[in-house]
Structure 1
Amino acid sequence: MLCVWWNIDGPVHWELLPRGSTINAALYCDQLRRVAAVLKAKYPDLNYPVVFLHDNARPHVAQATKTVLGELGWDVLPHPPYSPDLAPSDFHLFLSLSSALSGISFNDEAELENWLRQWFASKDRAFYRRGIGKLVERWTEVVNNGGEYIGT
């Protein structure tokens, strides 16, 4: 399982979980702390809160996660249930990644990690900015449609 955190500049942090792994609140909280450390190193002069978007999966809405997000001081955007149309990772990043992976197989995890590293690096900042920009457009469309699902 690939877990990715990204912004308008590109991937902030990503990690591959071992085959068969599932994400629970404890693991997700550990991941958020790792992301926060990377953000702090990458943007040491950041003087405004991180605006964070994730969906309503159980680990994302668990009390432990809410506590960690509060400790980090991150603002969390509300995300309506069952709304992949408002998840840039779904409608932009993973859609493109899935297309690029079509027909490719890997001999081992190291080969996959190397391919992912190269794929992320091959995308320019405009790619990531476009994905986040689409979120603004889609959010506006959902609001204008009374909260109805808009599709991809």
Structure 2
Amino acid sequence: MTEQKKVLLSVWWDYKGIVYFELLPPNRTINSDVYIEQLTKLNNTVEEKQPELTNRKGVVFHHDNARPHTSLVTRQKLMQLGWDVLPHPPYSPDLAPSDYFLFRSLQNSLNGKNFNNDDDVKSYLIQFFANKNQKFFERGIMMLPEIWQKVIDQNGQYITE
């Protein structure tokens, strides 16, 4: 029996699709330094793929309140990039489109799958993302106001649907 290991996926997406993703090397966790490296790579990808956003300072960024996301150096990096950051109330994971939308779909597609190595995982992810059309990603982003309203209506409680 082979030992199962987990792979950490970091992914950024918008209403058009996946902007950038990476798999963290084994035994590496996300801290502020790693997150800033990722934000730099993300910004380079945005400049390359969607220059219209960086030219008019149109990046509106949403992430949760994990420590690496809220650290001083991360906030400074985001300010340096000139991105508008949407506020994320504490203890509200339901508000992240990746949690309520993208990862749910990905998890369903991964059920029962095993991979031999990280390259196989990456290939699978590339294929998974490529098979989602723009309407899929658009729907995930457009659901955001509705999800936020549900959280407000439930006084910040988790959404259990």
With the shorter chain as reference, the TM-score category is over 0.9
- Over aligned residues, Cα RMSD in angstroms? 1.3
Is 1:118 aligned with 2:117?
Answer: no
Letter of the structure 2 residue corresponding to residue 54 of structure 1: H
Give CA deviations for 1:53-76 in whole Å, capped at 9, x if unaligned. 100000000000000000000011
Post-superposition offset of 1:107: 1.0
Structure 2 portions without partners, runs of 5+: 1-7
Q: 94, 101, 104: which one pairs with 2:110?
A: 101
Number of residue pairs aligned between Structure 1 and Structure 2: 152
Letter of the structure 1 residue corresponding to residue 114 of structure 2: S
Q: TM-score, normalised by structure 1?
A: 0.94
Give 3-state SS (helix, strand or coil) of 1:67's partner: helix
Is 1:19 aligned with 2:38?
Answer: no
Question: Conserved in 2, the CA contact under 8 Å of 1:85 and 1:151?
Answer: no
Q: Pairwise mapping of residues 17-96 of structure 1 onto structure 2 (< 5 A)?
A: 17-46=24-53, 47-96=56-105
Q: What is the distance in 2 between the residues matched to 1:141 and 1:88?
A: 14
Post-superposition offset of 1:146: 4.0
Give CA deviations for 1:54-102 in whole Å, capped at 9, x if unaligned. 0000000000000000000001111011112101101101111011000
For 1:6, the equivalent position in structure 2 comes to: 13
Give CA deviations for 1:10-59 in whole Å, capped at 9, x if unaligned. 11000001122210001101100110111111112232421111000000
Structure 1 portions without partners, runs of 5+: none
Identity of aligned residues (%): 49
Letter of the structure 2 residue corresponding to residue 25 of structure 1: S
Post-superposition offset of 1:142: 2.5
Give 3-state SS (helix, strand or coil) of 1:45's partner: helix
Distance 1:102 1:149, change over 3 A: closer
Q: TM-score, normalised by structure 2?
A: 0.89
Give 3-state SS (helix, strand or coil) of 1:80's partner: coil
Question: Conserved in 2, the CA contact under 8 Å of 1:9 and 1:129?
Answer: yes
